[in-house]
Amino acid sequence: MTPLITNPKFLRVAAPFMIGVVLLLAWQLICMALQVPVYLVPTPSVIARTLVADWGLLSDSLLVTLKITFMAFVLSVLLGVAIAFVFVQSRFIEVSLFPYAIILQVTPIVAIAPLIIIWVKEPTFALVICATIMALFPIISNTTLGLRSVNPGLLNLFKLNKATRWQTLRRLRIPSALPYFFGGLRISSGLALIGAVVAEFVAGTGGTGSGLAYQILQAGFQLNIPRLFAALFLITVTGIVLFLAMMALSRVALAGWHESEMG
């Protein structure tokens, strides 16, 4: 029986957790010692109390943000994969269209969110579009790269056995692309959340007016800093949970064969 502390699996959970506890403690003690006013930096304990007290309000907002994030994420996966499949059909298509996909990546979402919110009447839909634009690119680029990253030897083998285009796609290109696709999912899930929050910020009080970003804005106006921190905390936790969920998904799908999910 090895001591728990040297078990790498235990360490992977315990070490970050300990760091978190130490940081929170330090935060709490410093704020208390220096008597920092609560409207500047609230202590973790005050934030926790606010989280419980305002849970009704905050959980409703969390659900709204989650809904937009989830819809945008699903939409970007569907669209991204479809676009990647179109791209790999021919070099010509990819070369002609890829620069336009890059526009998605380099356009600051804050700059175009107001336009989209003006153009699209339905506020939820407008926010979903903003978040999708944000989350789409990693799916497109990773899946395209994956569908192209096929072992040339295996490609020769398929050619030698007179495989049809469809057989090569289904039995070779898609499995080869999975590790890249899951890498894209990981990045994209976080971006969908950021996109949802940013778009809601831009929409401000004129938007749907109930997501977490709206709570942060309102709390800021009212100088209710503990609530602002509580909302921020929820966004952070959501992001981490999304990331872990994508890791788990990737582990389940690639377990047993891909280097990235071994050991």
Partner 1 sequence: MKRDDQAMPQLAAWEQGVGDVDPTAATVLSAQRVEKTYRNGTRALDEVKLDIKRGEFVSLLGPSGCGKSTLLKMFAGLEEPSHGHIRWWGKNLATVGAADHTLAMVFQEATLMPWASVEQNVRLPLDLSRMPRTESDVRVKDALKLVGLDRFQDAYPRELSGGMQMRASIARALATRPNLLLMDEPFGALDEFTRNKLDADLRRIWSRQDLTVVFVTHSIYEAVYLSSRVVVMAARPGRVIADVPIEAPGAGGMRDDAFRIAPEFMGYCKILSDYLTLANQENQEGGPRDTAHH
User: Could you list the residues that contact partner 1 (CB under 8 A)?
Assistant: 151, 153-154, 156-163, 167, 171-172, 175, 178, 256-258
Amino acid type, 73:
F
Q: Which is nearer to partner 1, 46 or 163 (CB)?
A: 163
Measured CA to CA, the distance from residue 141 to residue 168 in angstroms comes to 20
By beta-carbon proximity to partner 1, the closer residue of 173 and 227 is 173
Name all contacts of 213-218 with Cβ < 8 Å and 24+ positions apart.
Answer: 213/65, 214/61, 215/57, 215/58, 215/61
* 3-state class (DSSP) for residue 28: helix
Torsion of CA 34, 35, 39, 42, to 10 degrees: 80
Nearer to partner 1 by Cβ, of 102 and 255: the residue is 255
Kindly state the smallest distance separating residue 150's Cβ from partner 1, in Å. 10
- CA 118/CA 161 separation, integer angstroms: 55
Q: How far is the CB of 8 from partner 1 (least distance, A)?
A: 20
CA distance 56 to 198: 23
Smallest distance, Å, CB 83 to partner 1?
A: 24
Least spacing, CB of residue 238 vs partner 1, in Å: 32
C-beta closer to partner 1: residue 41 or 163: 163
Q: Which is nearer to partner 1, 12 or 171 (CB)?
A: 171
Per-residue tokens: 41: 């930096």
Q: Cβ of residue 143: shortest distance to partner 1, in angstroms?
A: 17
